[in-house]
Structure 1
Amino acid sequence: MGILKALVASLLVSLFLFQLAQALHPNQLDATRVGTYPPLKIDCGKACEARCMLSKRPNLCHRACGTCCGRCNCVPPGTSGNYESCACYAQMTTRGNKKKCP
């Protein structure tokens, strides 16, 4: 009986320490983690604002970027290109088979 209590107590302490470590370092793992539950969500508004800030058609850019970000949960860095950092974002196409995401 004493061993069971010690085992349960050590399990509870280890779970507490694990939760404490996650609370102290929430940004250690970024939004590009794959296979996590629940997946981390990025702020699509801010990410698309940065992506579309030099666009000639900002409303169109924000709308397309928002759709892509919502589906892929990532936006490539910079104002253009860099698609290799977000494969899902790069693979989305329109009905005309053109790149959907800015």
Structure 2
Amino acid sequence: MAKLSCFSIAFFFLALVFAIEVSHVTALDATAAKYRPTGGEGSLRPEQCAGACDFRCSATSHKNPCLQYCNQCCQKCLCVPSGTSGNKEECPCYNNWKTKEGGPKCP
């Protein structure tokens, strides 16, 4: 009887941990989806740029410059491409803004 009780407690604990993990992942997905623009140029309001750029720059090891340039580009273009890299064709303004040297300005 004691083994059944320990098994039941262990099963309950594992089910609880799983439920917490699933809800945490769902919350992260919902937060990320909130900052994934889908409308292209002009699809964001200026106050949404910080969140969109936080997501855009989340995978880089050069976070500060990425955030600086992303926010600058977002304020001008009101668009940030989806994902943490690539997809710049979604935002032509963001994609076509170049540095003095001719390289991409926006991350």
In the superposition, the TM-score normalised over structure 2's length comes to 0.58
Q: Which residue of 1 aligns with 2:80?
A: 75
How far apart are the structure 2 equivalents of 1:32 and 1:98?
Answer: 22
Which of 57, 63, 70 aligns to 2:62? It is 57
Deviating 4+ runs (over 3 angstroms) = 30-34
Residue segments in structure 1 that go unaligned for 5+ positions in a row = 1-29
SS in 2 for 1:47: helix
Determine if the alignment matches structure 1 residue 97 to structure 2 residue 98: no
* Corresponding pairs, count: 69
Q: Which residue of 1 aligns with 2:22?
A: none
8 Å Cα contact 2:77/2:94 also seen in 1: yes
Which of 49, 57, 63 aligns to 1:44? It is 49
Give how far 1:48 is off.
Answer: 0.1
8 Å Cα contact 1:64/1:100 also seen in 2: yes
Residue segments in structure 2 that go unaligned for 5+ positions in a row = 1-37
- Higher RCO structure, 1 or 2 (CA under 8 Å, sep 6+): 2
**Structure showing the higher helix proportion among its residues:** 2
Task: State, as a whole percentage, how many aligned pairs show the same letter.
Answer: 41
